[in-house]
Chains A and B, each alone.
Chain A
Amino acid sequence: MISHLLQSSSKDTSFYLFLAYILIGVIIFSYILSLFLKARDKKKE
């Protein structure tokens, strides 16, 4: 793993990498939450 990291280019782009994965995570979890809320509403009815 460390040898892979040593290969990285001179430009540090890890911020963008984490930003992209965090935003994908936010979208996925928001959708999971919306499904939970929809299921709860349906149960109440």
Chain B
Amino acid sequence: MKKLLRKWATLFSILALFTNILALLMVFFYAPTEVQMGEVQKIFYYHVPCAIASYFMVFISFVFSIAFLVKKDEKYDIWAYAGAEVGLVFILCVLVSGPIWGKAAWGKWWVWEPRLTTFLIIFLIYFSYILVRIFGKQDPKTLKVASVFSIIGFLDVPLVNRAVYWWGSIVHPKSVSLEPQMKLTFFVSLLSVIILSLSFLFWRVSVDERVIDND
């Protein structure tokens, strides 16, 4: 099991290295500079993919948390924990890059608008999840509580997505139209960040103390 996981992790890591190098080269040397915001708009090419990767990872955590609660098998919890932890890493990337973009483009680090607030709630839920896991160790009750945290946390994702449509937003547009070069750069960045998140997920599962090398 561990050997197979490491094989996938290595494959995704190599792919992630090359695609991220390509994405960064495209961000800095290929994508045109947006006229209104200037250079800082290029934060977009990692800010949005990191957000999408974090949704993907918390979705994995959500699915495996449900599977764990239903089947009571710890192998599902290993994936749920890994998904939540990797998701939190990308949530943190979004929360760090967003305010920097906001400060440069609109003069404010943070505004309490619906999308930012609901996204902060996701961060707080998954941060709590990690704290529960660290302090609760492998107690069966801890695993159940953490699974419930993960399920509740994921339910906030549709709220983040719809927040702009339901409650409006000062800084997030409902839709973005991109030049072809910008679109291509964005999709390469998205692919590179998704592959990176998958490599993290497989590495994280393979280093879990409950995964035994039985190959």
Judging by beta carbons under 8 Å apart, are A13 and B207 in contact?
Answer: no
Across-interface contacts of A17 in B (CB, < 8 A) = 39-40, 42-43, 104
Q: Is the CB of B32 within 8 A of A7?
A: yes
Report which of A12, A13, A28, A38 forms a contact with B89, defined as CB distance below 8 A. A28
Q: If the complex has contacts A7-B33, A16-B103, are A23 and B203 also in contact, measured as CB distance less than 8 A? A: no
Residue contacts A-B, CB under 8 angstroms, 8 given: A13-B40, A14-B38, A16-B40, A16-B104, A20-B97, A21-B24, A23-B96, A35-B204
Q: Which residues of A contact B (CB under 8 A)?
A: 1, 4-5, 7-9, 11-14, 16-17, 19-21, 23-24, 27-28, 31, 35, 38-39, 42, 45
A28 pairs with B96, CB closer than 8 A: no
Number of A-B residue pairs having CB atoms within 8 Å of each other in the complex: 84
Contact A24 B35 (CB under 8 A): no
A14 to B100, CA, bound (A): 11
Interface of B is mostly: helix
Q: A13-B105, A23-B100 are in contact. List 5 more A-B contacts (CB 8 A).
A: A7-B33, A9-B38, A13-B40, A23-B96, A31-B89
Encode contact with A along B164-188: 1 for CB under 8 Å, 0 otherwise: 0000000000000000000000000
- Report which of A4, A23, A39 forms a contact with B32, defined as CB distance below 8 A: A4
**Min CB–CB distance B76 → chain A (angstroms):** 20
A7 contacts B35, C-beta separation under 8 Å: yes
C-alpha gap A39/B47 in the complex (Å): 29
Chain B residues with Cβ under 8 A from A27's Cβ? 89, 92-93, 96
Which single member of B42, B97, B105 contacts A23 (CB below 8 Å)?
B97
- Per the bound structure, the CA–CA distance linking A28 and B200 in Å amounts to 10
Is the CB–CB distance between A20 and B92 below 8 Å?
Answer: no
Judged by a CB distance under 8 angstroms, whether B209 is at the interface is yes
Taking CB atoms, residues of chain A closer than 8 Å to B37 are 9, 13
Closest Cβ–Cβ distance, residue B50 to chain A (whole Å): 7
Check if B12 is an interface residue, CB within 8 A of chain A: no
Q: With contacts A13-B37, A13-B39, A42-B209 known, is A20 near B32, CB below 8 A?
A: no
Please list the 4 inter-chain residue pairs (A to B) with the smallest Cβ-Cβ separation, ordered nearest first.
Answer: A13-B40, A16-B104, A9-B38, A13-B104
Measured CB to CB, the closest approach of chain B to A41, in angstroms, equals 8
Whole-angstrom distance between the Cβ of B159 and the nearest chain A Cβ: 24
Contact B43 A20 (CB under 8 A): yes
